[in-house]
Amino acid sequence: MIEHLPALMVAVPLFGAFTTPLLKKKPSAAALWALAITAVTLGLGVLLVMEVLTRGMMVYVFGADEPGLVLPSGYSVPIRIIFEVDAMGAFMALSAVLMSFIGAMYSYSHVKLETGLEKYYALLLLLEVGILGMVLTGDLFNLFVFLEIAGIAGSALVGFRNYRGEASEAGLKYLIVSAVASLMVLFSIGLLYGQYGNLNIAYLSSQIGFNTVDMIALGILFASFVMKCGSVPTHHWVPDAYTEVPSGINPVLLVATYASLYALFRVSFSLFGTISLSMSSVGWIMSVLGVLTMFIGVTMALVQKDVKRLMSYHAISQTGYMLLGVGVGLTVLNDPAKLAAFGRDAMAGGIFHIINHIIYKSLLLMTAGALFYVTGTRNLNEMGGLARKMPYTTVAFIVGAAAISGIPPFNGFASKFLIYETSYQLNPLLAIFAMVTSVLTLASFVKVFASAFLGPPVKRYENVREVPKPMVVAMLILAALCILFGLFPNIVLDKLVYPAVDALLNLNGYQTWGGVL
């Protein structure tokens, strides 16, 4: 079974997505079925990560006599659909399966009173399929297909509460933005296919040159994934989507956003990694976009009074850290001395920040969902004194807020620490912006804490109680992960993050399908 893991990772949630609508008459059965499917996928994801970390890159050829048979006799180029799972892909896959499981668990109570739950869970599983396909595939056209699946499922979930005009509007906006980005991705894939007659990323990366058409393809791919990952100044869709989507979907939608970030990294390091001359420029573009993203995101968050919108702007801001960390690494990619001195650590900081952010931002958005669940409003002006009524949510919020603000010993600190130090070595101004952003992040979470949880009790909420147990458990699991990843950052870095960084840097290994050839 182990050799079929890459295919099973997509097949199991896909099977779940198609069977969930059969449970239309029993919404709670649909919820439990989705929970079971995400749990099985989580188990498969853990096995996949263990396999990749112990035995190296996994290659899965669909339709071949043997799953590892990349080039059947007589073929000189790969022609089949190939999944190529290195440590970076496995790292992202683990994030996806973990957050899908947590999201399904939280949703069990959070959306219990909504209608059309069989569609909700089917779409949740389909979103998981889209993300997993994007991060596991080694084929550009497949990447586009799964990007579309994730985009369509995501937009349907954003507009799930269609009795709210804002949700429908946000869903439509997300759909348009996703469609434009995806079609431009398809256009640039067409440019590359026209030149090289192949769609396999590893094969293309070994063939690609430094001509104008290649650079146009790189530029379009770069801009499209930048928009899909929510970087400033193409971030406008993020607050709408994250605010309107049900909180149980927030973790999965976050991973979907970072699957696009993964695609951006994959394109920069694996597909175009050999174009040494321009990579410094691309790295600088990424770093500058990172700084703009973190600063504009946090300053916009500071003025929000809608709790989920505020947190959505923070999600944008934190994406800036990831872009900055990996951008610093990309800038010095072709300078071995600088890469060894700080570039690799900068990338580790950026990639470590992906999983840290997914954990604490999911937690924070869930606490925002919990506030909405008990108060029926997201307006911070109308809240107050809820800490007495919702002790678990309060603790979860404090942990999440401390983590996102980079307060030690929570997980956000370790990754930010690496980003501060390494970006300083490229240019001190970059590190200064990163640190100011952290201070402003803390300031805006003080605002949320003071206005929602502290202060005198509000009469209207006299009878509110803590949210149901599945929601509390989901939040506490994430809070525990914030603490564990913060207390033992070195273990996470050694076991998951540095292998992912090295996978991105090891272009030769990627081009030879991990030594299969």
Partner 1 sequence: MSWLESLTLTSPSGFWNPLLWLAFLIIFAVIGYIIYSRGNRSYKPGTEQVKPFISGNAVDDVELIRVRASDIYWGLIEAMKGYYAVLMRMHTGDVRDYILWYLGVGAIILFILVGGV
| Sign of the C-alpha dihedral computed for residues 361, 364, 368 and 370 taken in this order | positive
Min dist. Cβ of residue 86 to partner 1 (A)? 24
CB of 219 to partner 1, least distance (A): 4
Provide, rounded to whole angstroms, the least separation between the CB of residue 445 and partner 1.
11
Q: How many residues bind partner 1 (CB under 8 A)?
A: 69
Whole-number CA gyration radius for the chain: 22
Among residues 41, 422, 441, 511, which is the contact residue for partner 1, using CB under 8 A?
422
- Extract the tokens encoding 495: 């076991």
User: For residue 97, what are its two tokens?
Assistant: 């399966």
Q: Please, what is the minimum distance in Å from the beta carbon of residue 457 to partner 1?
A: 7
Which span sits near partner 1 by CB under 8 A: 18-26, 29-37, 61-69, 211-219? Answer: 211-219
CB of 385 closer than 8 Å to CB of 457 = yes
- Could you say whether residue 498 binds partner 1 (CB under 8 A)? no
What mask, x for binding partner 1 by CB under 8 A, covers residues 251 to 280?
Answer: ---------------------------x--
Residue 85 burial by Cβ neighbours in a 10 Å radius (0-12, 13-18, 19+): buried
What dihedral do alpha carbons 220, 292, 228, 273 form, nearest 10°? 50
Q: Which of 7, 191, 341, 398 binds partner 1 (CB under 8 A)?
A: 341
Q: How many CA atoms lie within 13 A of 47 on its CB side?
A: 15
Q: Which stretch binds partner 1 (CB under 8 A): 2-10, 117-125, 155-163, 296-304?
A: 296-304
Which residues fall within 8 angstroms of residue 386, CB to CB, at 6 or more apart?
Answer: 371, 374, 375, 393, 394, 452, 453, 461, 464
Q: Buried (b) or exposed (e) across 438-475, using 16+ Cβ within 10 A?
A: bebbbebbebbeebbbeeeeeeebeebebbeebbbbbb
Q: From CA 323, how far away is CA 267, in angstroms rounded? A: 14
> Which of 173, 222, 217 has its CA nearest to residue 192?
217
Q: How far is the CB of 478 from partner 1 (least distance, A)?
A: 18
By beta-carbon proximity to partner 1, the closer residue of 135 and 285 is 285
Which of 83, 126, 99, 86 is closest to 42 using CA atoms?
99
CB of 236 to partner 1, least distance (A): 5
User: Rounded to an integer, what distance in angstroms lies between the CA atom of residue 95 and that of residue 292?
Assistant: 26
Q: Of 28, 115, 162, 381, which lies in the binding site for partner 1, with binding defined by CB under 8 A?
A: 381
Residue among 264, 345, 350, 399 that touches partner 1 (CB under 8 A) = 345
Site residues (CB under 8 A) for partner 1, limited to 214-253:
215-216, 218-220, 222-224, 226-227, 233-234, 236-237, 240
Binding flag, residue 421, partner 1 (CB under 8 A): yes
Tell the smallest beta-carbon distance from residue 116 to partner 1 (Å): 25
* Closer CB to partner 1, 2 or 443, in the complex: 443
Shorter beta-carbon distance to partner 1: residue 470 or 489? 489
Nearest approach, Cβ of residue 7 and partner 1 (Å): 34
Check residue 190 for interaction with partner 1 (CB under 8 A).
Answer: no
Closest distance of CB 279 from partner 1, Å? 10
Nearer to partner 1, 300 or 366 (CB): 300
Q: Closer CB to partner 1, residue 258 or residue 342? A: 342
Is 36 a residue that touches partner 1 (CB under 8 A)? no
Measure the CA dihedral 212/218/223/225, to 10°.
Answer: 160
Part in contact with partner 1 (CB under 8 A); list of ranges 15-23, 132-140, 209-217, 473-481? 209-217
Residue 113 sits at φ, ψ, to 5 deg, of -90, 0
Q: At a CB cut-off of 8 Å and minimum separation 6, what does 441 contact? A: 298, 301, 314, 317, 404, 405, 406
Per DSSP, the residues of 190-205 read HHHHHHHS--BHHHHH
Cβ atoms < 10 Å from Cβ of 275 = 18
Compute the distance between CA of residue 286 and CA of residue 202 in angstroms, rounded to an integer: 23
Residue from 22, 183, 439, 491 that binds partner 1 (CB under 8 A)?
Answer: 491
Q: Which of residues 423-452 bind partner 1 (CB under 8 A)?
A: 425, 443, 446-448, 450-452
Which 66-105 residues touch partner 1, going by CB under 8 A? none
Cβ of residue 270: shortest distance to partner 1, in angstroms? 17
Crossing angle for the helix pair 165-196 and 237-244, nearest 10 degrees? 130
- Using CB under 8 A as the criterion, which residues of the chain lie in contact with partner 1 when the complex forms? 172-173, 176-177, 180-181, 184, 212, 215-216, 218-220, 222-224, 226-227, 233-234, 236-237, 240, 278, 281-282, 285, 296, 299-300, 302-303, 305, 341-342, 345, 380-381, 383-385, 408-409, 413-414, 417-418, 421-422, 425, 443, 446-448, 450-452, 455-459, 486-491, 493
